[in-house]
Structure formats: C-alpha cells, structure tokens
Amino acid sequence: MHDRQAPTQTQMQLLAEEALAALPDAFREQLGDVVMRVEDFATPEQLASVGIADRWHLSGLYEGEPLPDRSIWESGRMPPRIWLFREPLIAEWRETGVRMDDLVRHVVVHEAGHHFGFSDEDMHGLEDESD
C-alpha cells in the first residue's frame, strides 16, 4: 500500500477545493469567506488549542468564529480558516486504504460543520444517523 504516490500540498489543496465545491449551494454560499489551507502538520499552538499533543493525531482544524456566534458589530477579524494537515491524512490513507478524495472530503465537511456551529458530538451523531 505504500507504493501509491502521496499527494503534494497543491494536489491536496485541489482535492479540498473540489470537496468544498461539491457541497450543496446553501452551505457553500455561507462558506464564502472561509480560507482553505493545507500544511504538512499543525503548529504546536494549533495542537494545544484542541488539546492534542501528537501532531500525527490532527488531520483537520477549523479556526474562526462559528456563524451562530458572530455579531454584525464585529469587524477586522481574520477570516475563518479550515486547515488540512497533509502528513496525518497521508498516514491515515495508507493505514486504512480509504480513497484520498473521500478522506479529504470527510475532513472538509467535518471542519465546515464547525463553521456552522456543530460540535464534534453533533457531527458524529449526524454521521451515525446517515450510516
């Protein structure tokens, strides 16, 4: 399984953008200001923000103010960001055999859910209901 070519950051960025573009219009319109970024690993600060010590255990992260918590009176903030961490995603891809585009789509949808104010528990419940 290790003989498959792992995607570059640019290729993974394209997969993430395709996953975002495939979302229903109603969701995609509300994600208009979200910036999608791919890096090899999360920074120590990003890991600490979610209580994870091992950089191999974080494949995606939403940073920003969820829509339900925003105020029209706030301005000057950085746009919300969805981060995908390439090396942990590649490790999961090699370990599980799940197609990379499916894996990236799962992480993008999960992190986009945080933009809409869903907790991890909410999203796991929705995933369980759809299975």
What architecture is the 9-65+78-130 domain classified under in CATH?
2-Layer Sandwich (3.30)
What pLDDT was estimated at residue 1?
41
pLDDT (tens place) for every residue of the chain, 131 residues total: 445 799 999 999 999 999 988 888 888 888 878 899 999 999 999 999 999 999 999 999 999 877 656 666 666 677 899 999 999 999 999 999 999 999 999 999 899 888 888 877 877 765 565 44
What pLDDT was estimated at residue 74?
62
Domain map of the chain by residue range?
A: 9-65+78-130
What is the distance of C-alpha 30 from the center of its chain? 16
Backbone angles phi, psi at 60, to 5 degrees: -160, 160
What does pTM read for this prediction?
0.84
Long-range contacts of 115-121 (CB under 8 A, 24+ apart): 115/30, 115/31, 115/34, 115/62, 115/64, 115/66, 115/67, 115/80, 115/82, 116/27, 116/30, 116/66, 116/67, 116/68, 117/66, 117/67, 117/68, 117/69
